[in-house]
Amino acid sequence: MSENLWKEALKLFAGGVNSPVRAAVKPYPFYVEKAEGAYLYTVDGKRLIDYVLGYGPLFLGHRHPYVENKIIEQLQKGWLYGTPSPIEVKLAEKIISHIPSAQKIRFVNSGTEATMLALRLARGYTGREKILKFNGNYHGAHDYGLVEAGSAATEFNVSTSNGIPALVRNTVEICEYNDLGCVEKKLKNEDIAGVIVEPIMGNMGLILPEKGFLEGLRELTRSYNTLLIFDEVITGFRLGLSGAQGYFNVIPDLTTLGKIIGGGLPIGAVAGKSEIIDLLTPSGKVFNAGTFNANPLSMAAGVATIEVLEREKVYDTARDSANAFSEELKTLLEKKGITFTLNRVESMFQVFFGVREVKNATQAKQSDKSFYFRVHQKMLEQGVFIPPSQFEVIFSSGVHNSHIVNATLEAVKKVITEL
């Protein structure tokens, strides 16, 4: 039973968990026994339709048979060599063929490592120290990222973490998302090595770039000889095969990837212009290394996932189901006269209550978090798992077919009419 496991876990882990957002499910998280397709099966015997999907990576759902077979095939050939393996060449070629800014790539093990390295590269390339990030963007759990961070950092009221050296903190400049005026001022007045941005904000709920924002970032960074880094850990291969940069046709200097490119196994990557990536050791003097970098299992799962994305209609199914779910939610909320904003793009969306627009982190934080949480809890009672935190995103996938969607709509109807 989840309750018993939770009691044990509280003795073993800080706050009972190994990543904080998991503790946002109340009164305690449900423990998952197994998963398949669009479903999670809990140890308490419940079946849940999953719209969290591992917080983004599982764009083909759980245990996609093709991916599973490719992982097993690799498993039977060994899962760590300490030397290069053919499968890393294959995944690199696939990613580079799809992501416009990618000429070369370095594989690491998480999105956190990827952004940490991209920032180091920007400093190494430009010889400058400062970086510019946006309020509420989340780039993982390293010192530079945890200044005004979104996601669980905001959920648990530590947007800027304790334990970050002032020296580091002082190298991070912050602007509000969608505020080009601020960016221009910072670039003019500070020596900025790189501007890092989520091209679509997926860690404050979902927030879209206003028309011209990403283009403006591209122009400004170019004119101040600052690197533009797109953090596509969520959007890479979710918005389309070419990521947010292809979707918006704005090409950054560096791109960080993670989540989907590992098919659900741990991964991260930094890709970009050859002249920048070549600064990495051993060809250059910006250091990175990792026991598990380009580990064969993550590589195999990544290749298999991208192969499925190339040949099947995953994007259509995922978009259609997110559309149906969010439209039904909108209609029901409007009928009830509830004030809300719903932001959506392709296969992801989020709803904010009590606010009429959400274009940056400050507005997102003004939304009625406890109302959102009530909706999450009531959906869970109806067998549908949406994120427990306002500051995460509802994700759909290629296995959220019409059968799953219909069951979801039934649940939403019940939840909203009974609110």
Ligand X SMILES: Cc1ncc(COP(=O)(O)O)c(C=O)c1O
Closer residue to ligand FVT in complex, CB, 109/151: 151
- Least distance from C-beta 58 to ligand FVT, angstroms? 12
Q: Which amino acid, one-letter code, is at 139?
A: H
Strands 47-50 and 39-42: antiparallel
Respond yes or no on whether the N-terminal peptide bond of residue 296 is cis (omega within 30° of 0).
no
Active site residue 259: yes
Sign of the Cα torsion 130, 133, 135, 141 reads: negative
Per rule CB under 6 A, is residue 265 in the interface with ligand FVT?
Answer: no
By CB under 6 A, the count of residues binding ligand X is: 15
Closer residue to ligand FVT in complex, CB, 87/141: 141
By CB under 6 A, the count of residues binding ligand FVT is: 9
Per rule CB under 6 A, is residue 115 in the interface with ligand X?
Answer: yes
Among residues 169, 199, 174, the alpha carbon closest in space to that of 186 is found at 174
The answer to whether the beta carbons of residues 43 and 31 sit under 8 Å apart is yes
The three-state secondary structure class of 353 is strand
Strands 32-36 and 39-42: antiparallel
Among 30, 39, 55, 213, binds ligand FVT (CB under 6 A): 55
Catalytic option among 231, 253, 365, 369: 231
Among 70, 94, 133, 139, binds ligand X (CB under 6 A): 139
Among 192, 351, 392, 416, binds ligand FVT (CB under 6 A): 392
Q: How far is CA 67 from CA 43, 188, 214, 242, 294, in A?
A: 25, 48, 34, 21, 17
Closer residue to ligand X in complex, CB, 85/115: 115
Active site residue 138: yes
Active site residue 231: yes
Q: Which amino acid, one-letter code, is at 374?
A: R
Tell me how far apart the alpha carbons of residues 52 and 407 are, in angstroms, rounded to a whole number: 16
Residues of this chain, 198-217, that bind ligand FVT according to CB under 6 A = 203
Per rule CB under 6 A, is residue 152 in the interface with ligand FVT?
Answer: yes
Sign of the Cα torsion 342, 64, 413, 379 reads: negative
Per rule CB under 6 A, is residue 50 in the interface with ligand FVT?
Answer: no
Residues of this chain, 219-278, that bind ligand X according to CB under 6 A = 231, 233-234, 258, 268
Binding region for ligand X (CB under 6 A): 110-112, 115, 138-140, 198, 202-203, 231, 233-234, 258, 268
